[in-house]
Chain A
């Protein structure tokens, strides 16, 4: 199971040749977010013991099935969780500062300014009652106290940056006068308006058709290179991950079951779940008539099995898997895997 490419230990420069700084921009250490029911009797471990790091200029893809905790992880990073959710343990270091210790007011200055996010449905992310100029300029006014005029002229520049034709007239228009692809790019412009260090994109292309998807992904990549952004890309589309990301984290039942450089994981997945995910991508060359699916259902996060959460569905599970959950092993430097199969080849 261990990887055969030890040469890319520090995995830099990234595959796309973007320079990456050495110190992590954001480091999550053993982060856990649980949803607690009103009576406190049911605890859903939506994010469980997640450790990840991302550096400026790098793209981290987070993949997993629906309900695997991807979006909760994104909300946890921004600390905009619904009231029922609690961050129960762990640390979130942004440039070395633990942002879990920040007050709500301090957090507001981080949101939009240092960490920005593009939401799942960018089509609905614009307020129908305000002009594009007002909305693109809003973060600048909120964070930098810019005047309306300054914000508007900055909005025009941003629209130009996301390749919207004739930004002068577009700033005066309303969202309903734009096409879907344009609205998407405008949401992208809002995301980068305060020049954040980290941009989280939570399935930003699911509502778009394929040609616009490709355009938008290219735009995101260009923006990332220009602004030296760290990008967290949440998706369930492994094809997009292969195109966009340097690093990959695979989530299952709230845990990161495998992480590491994309090319290494695609070539030699360490975790059976990752392997199954990769095998489930339909290929043109396949002769099989049936699509490959992973047997079984993801577990109930409120009643996880005693051992590895994937064990009931895992074709290679053995006794130990059902007894104890595996810790995070390092099959090779820069990679992690939560699987007993990798225990032999790596130290915990």
Chain B
């Protein structure tokens, strides 16, 4: 049997590389959705049929084209200012992607570094970082973000900063826990015995072992951050109007829900849901793939 032969004779490196992208378990649909959103975000200028920030008041509350009263000019209808919902969704993807990814990365780098340092060095460094995290976690994240937004004022990059500062604690906590168990592992002791410095051990032995956790956490956080961004926009302290953030669209459309203007909230809601779900599914797959021990299974 060929599978048996593979187990006995260790497969050469080339072959393993090839199996890394084996399509069987690859989450194709989530990947395509994320790629699609990314593509739309990059080429928003070319794809959007209308200006997302300017509408015509004569064409207010037009329904999607398949409903009576809808036109193919506005495929997904228009909002209370007559702006094209589709175009706003397309440009909103850009904001969600940029804000989501950069905020997750910012939070991830901050939290991972603090988590590793705190876990590995221990002692008073650990005390300070962990008490700081406790304090941070005691504050309701969204309230804290609103508070920060009120201080620095609403703009897209401020939102990135705020979300990063708000959500690093989860990384720090989880990574620190991982480091605590890692640093007692024999291979770390072997590195100490071999004469590696603390910095070298943290960089070469600890970091690669926690980076998977950080990435998986990142994909989960991506959902949280996108929702937080949407919430901030919904509450009016996020990305300032007339920029088309998905959360802002939800917020604007919520009054319309009662009188039947469902397209104002359902479409951006679906976009948020699809993006968050895809990110999580992809993250789950990545977690398995990044572990050389699980990779062969």
Chain A contacts to B: CB under 8 angstroms: 78, 80, 83, 105, 108-113, 116-117, 119-130, 135, 138-139, 142-143, 169, 172-174, 176-177, 187, 190
Which residue in chain B gives the minimum CB-CB distance to A177?
B10
Q: Chain A CB within 10 Å — which of B185, B193, B204 has the most?
A: B193
Which residue in chain B gives the minimum CB-CB distance to A114?
B195
Task: Count B-side interface residues using an 8 Å CB cutoff.
Answer: 24
Chain B residues contacting A80 (CB-CB under 8 Å) are: 189, 192-193
Verify A190–B190 contact, CB threshold 8 A.
yes
Verify B209–A127 contact, CB threshold 8 A.
yes
Verify B191–A138 contact, CB threshold 8 A.
yes
Chain A residues contacting B190 (CB-CB under 8 Å) are: 119, 125-126, 187, 190
Which residue in chain A gives the minimum CB-CB distance to B12?
A169
Verify B193–A116 contact, CB threshold 8 A.
yes
Main secondary structure of the interface of B (DSSP, over half): helix
**When chains A and B are docked, how far (Å) is the Cα of A122 from the Cα of B190?**
9
**When chains A and B are docked, how far (Å) is the Cα of A172 from the Cα of B13?**
7
Verify A108–B196 contact, CB threshold 8 A.
yes
Within 8 Å of chain A (Cβ to Cβ): is B50?
Answer: no
Which residue in chain A gives the minimum CB-CB distance to B197?
A108
Chain B residues contacting A143 (CB-CB under 8 Å) are: 195
Within 8 Å of chain A (Cβ to Cβ): is B254?
Answer: no
| A-B contacts besides A119-B186, A129-B208, 6 pairs, CB < 8 Å | A108-B195, A111-B192, A112-B196, A128-B292, A176-B292, A176-B293
Which residue in chain B gives the minimum CB-CB distance to A130?
B208
6 contacts between A and B (CB under 8 A): A80-B193, A111-B193, A111-B195, A124-B185, A125-B189, A127-B209
Within 8 Å of chain A (Cβ to Cβ): is B200?
Answer: yes
Chain A residues contacting B287 (CB-CB under 8 Å) are: none
Which residue in chain A gives the minimum CB-CB distance to B204?
A138
Verify B195–A139 contact, CB threshold 8 A.
yes
Chain B contacts to A: CB under 8 angstroms: 10, 12-13, 122-123, 185-187, 189-197, 200, 204-205, 208-209, 292-293
Which residue in chain A gives the minimum CB-CB distance to B189?
A119
Chain B residues contacting A172 (CB-CB under 8 Å) are: 13
Chain B residues contacting A110 (CB-CB under 8 Å) are: 195
Chain B residues contacting A108 (CB-CB under 8 Å) are: 195-197
**When chains A and B are docked, how far (Å) is the Cα of A113 from the Cα of B194?**
7
Chain B residues contacting A190 (CB-CB under 8 Å) are: 190, 194
**When chains A and B are docked, how far (Å) is the Cα of A172 from the Cα of B192?**
23
**When chains A and B are docked, how far (Å) is the Cα of A116 from the Cα of B123?**
28
Contacts A119-B189, A124-B187, A129-B209 given: A142-B194 contact, CB under 8 Å?
Answer: yes
Verify A126–B10 contact, CB threshold 8 A.
no
Taking the nearest CB of chain A, how far is it from the CB of B131, in angstroms? 19
**When chains A and B are docked, how far (Å) is the Cα of A80 from the Cα of B189?**
9
**When chains A and B are docked, how far (Å) is the Cα of A80 from the Cα of B198?**
12
Verify A142–B187 contact, CB threshold 8 A.
no
Taking the nearest CB of chain B, how far is it from the CB of A98, in angstroms? 19
Verify A125–B12 contact, CB threshold 8 A.
no
Chain A residues contacting B205 (CB-CB under 8 Å) are: 127
Taking the nearest CB of chain A, how far is it from the CB of B245, in angstroms? 39
Taking the nearest CB of chain B, how far is it from the CB of A263, in angstroms? 31
Chain B residues contacting A78 (CB-CB under 8 Å) are: 193
Taking the nearest CB of chain B, how far is it from the CB of A1, in angstroms? 39
Taking the nearest CB of chain A, how far is it from the CB of B230, in angstroms? 36
Verify A128–B194 contact, CB threshold 8 A.
no
Verify B292–A129 contact, CB threshold 8 A.
yes
**When chains A and B are docked, how far (Å) is the Cα of A129 from the Cα of B193?**
19
Chain A residues contacting B189 (CB-CB under 8 Å) are: 80, 119, 125
